Amino acid sequence: MRAGAVIAVIAVLAAAAPAAGPAAAQTPPAPPPVQLPVKTYPEITTFGGSDAPVAADGQAVYQLYSAQKEAGRPWVGAVFVRRMGGAATYLSRAYDCAAGTWRWLGEAARPDRISLSVTSLDQTRRRALVPGSIEHRLAHYACAL
């Protein structure tokens, strides 16, 4: 790596580093993570969906399509079906049950088209769960599996 490239990398890292001093002290602390059930299994465990509703939000009803938990980890990947009127949308999510966070992994009218809905890495960034939100209710259900 050339010296100019090293300096550019250092400048980028320095710009991304948290500020020190009085301005940094004024930043409010992050809220505590949302508490979710943490249930782990000794091996990869998959769950099939059902027609039973797991959550509702206004006119939309959510059902589990499928879920998978990794061996010994507090994570779950889930695909839910959001039914609204006669339309169905498949929602792919990843939940970190211990940290109280989630990631959007795509949405589509058919489950085989979910990955095509992702157009940027920013869409899949880690997000905090908001208590009482539909994502919190879906995470709670998936983490309790």
In-domain check, residue 91: yes
Q: Band of the pLDDT at 116, cuts 50, 70, 90?
A: confident
List pLDDT tens digits, range 18-61: 555 555 556 666 666 678 999 999 999 999 998 999 999 989 99
Q: Model's pTM, two decimal places?
A: 0.75
- Give me the percent of the chain exceeding a pLDDT of 70: 77
Whether 115 is in a domain gets the answer yes
Report helix, strand or coil for 143: helix
Is residue 131 pLDDT above 60, yes or no? yes
**Which of residues 77 and 122 earns the better pLDDT score?**
77
Q: For residue 103, is it within any domain?
A: yes
Query: What does the alpha-carbon distance between residue 122 and residue 112 come to, in Å, rounded to a whole number?
Result: 22
Does 116 reside within a domain? Answer: yes
Domain coverage including residue 115: 45-144
Question: Is 51 a domain residue?
Answer: yes
Q: What is the pLDDT of residue 27?
A: 62
Asked, for residue 59, whether it belongs to a domain, the answer is yes
**Domains held by the chain: number:** 1
From residue 99, give the alpha-carbon distance in Å to each of 13, 52, 68, 75, 128. Answer: 25, 27, 18, 9, 9
Using CA atoms, how far residue 83 sits from 75, 88, 114, 119, in Å, is 25, 5, 16, 24
In a domain, 35, yes or no: no
Cα gap 24→15, rounded to integer Å: 14
Q: Is the confidence at residue 16, as pLDDT, over 50?
A: no
